[in-house]
Each structure stands twice: as C-alpha cells, then as structure tokens.
Chain A
Amino acid sequence: MSPRNSASEDPAPDIYVGLLFVAVAALITGCIFLALELNSYGWQFN
C-alpha cells in the first residue's frame, strides 16, 4: 500500500466515521459503568 498525502487528500467524513464516534462513545460509557462498579468495591480486587 502506497503512502498517502494527508494534507492534500483529506477525505471527507462519512457514515463510518460517525459510527466510529458512536463506538468510542459506547466504549467510554461502558468504561464509566465498570469504573463506578469498581468504585463501589473500593478499587479492591481481592
């Protein structure tokens, strides 16, 4: 695969980029839920 010139050829965001943002938001939300769950145990794993 040949290197691209990102400065000259900056593709326009499409639906997939939006889906990636949705995926990032879902991951962040899931991590927050898990962090809150760990917080309820005092961040102790044993």
Chain B
Amino acid sequence: MNSDEKLVSDALSGSVSAFTEIVERYSERLLRFLLTRCRTRADAEDALQDTFANAYRYLNTFNPKWRFSTWIYRIAIRNAVRSAPQGVMVEVSSDLEDQAADPLRDCIRASDRENLWLTARDLLSADAYSAMWLRYAEDLPVREVAGALDRSTSWTKVTLMRARNVLEQEMSRTIPKEREHYG
C-alpha cells in the first residue's frame, strides 16, 4: 500500500487516481471526527466535502515535514469551526427530543454504557476535544497534534493531561454507579 506522501506526490504529478485513493482512505475517518464537531450530519458532510476540495486545491502547499493526516485534519478542523460559529462545540441538550437530532449520538452503536466521546464533548473545550481525538482515536504523536491544532507542543501536552484528568474523574464517578446498578 502506498504511503500518504507517495500518493500526494503522485497527485501533484497529475494522477487523479492517487487523490481518489486519498479520499477513500480519509473519508470515514474525517467524517467520524466531523460528526463530533458539527451541529448536524449535513454540516459534517458539507465540511467533509469542503475539506477534500480545499486539500485538492491547495495540495501544492503541503509541507512534507508534517504527516499528511496532520495537514488534512487541520483543514477539517477549520471547516468544522466555520460550520459552528465562533468555534463553539455543539452543546448537547439533555432533552430527549434534542438528543434525537444529535448527529454523534445517532451514529453511536447501542452500548451498555455512555460513549466516552459523548462525555468528552460535554466536558471538554473544542480544542481539548480535538487534541484528545487526534491523540487517542488517530494515534497521532503529540507534535503532530500540536501541528494540526496550530498550538505549541507544551500547550498540547498540558491540554491532553488536563483532559485526561477530567475524563478519568468522570469515569471513576460513573463506573461505581454502574457496578452498583448491575451488581
């Protein structure tokens, strides 16, 4: 399988199939991320479409010192921010009716516990959430996460540590309840 960088190089040389393979490779990953950052599924799909169009249009500005995934996530984050004014994360209402319209909640398979990303979205800022996603869902190194968010490495490390603490506290608070419930 060709590396991302090889595909980018081929695409820059005029290979349409190379960029098509990039689209295939990143469509679901980016959509999964955008669903967590946009108000509706339609917004997420629009942001995905814009992300690929912008990536294709400005492919010649890609700097190979970064991973391609870092670069394309950076574009996706900008498009997500545009779809959510002032870069504010989608506030999830506790009303059941509103939850039905929540694109992320709709896309999560039924489980016996709350998906941790839903919890993270409620508790973390937009940037902290993105940092957590890129680090733990995408397995990007801290340096690449910082690059995608246009932040310093130290900011990213501190943000990840604080976000982890918040989620671990939440987990420790909810898990005993579940055990009590099922026990």
The answer to whether A and B belong to the same complex is: no
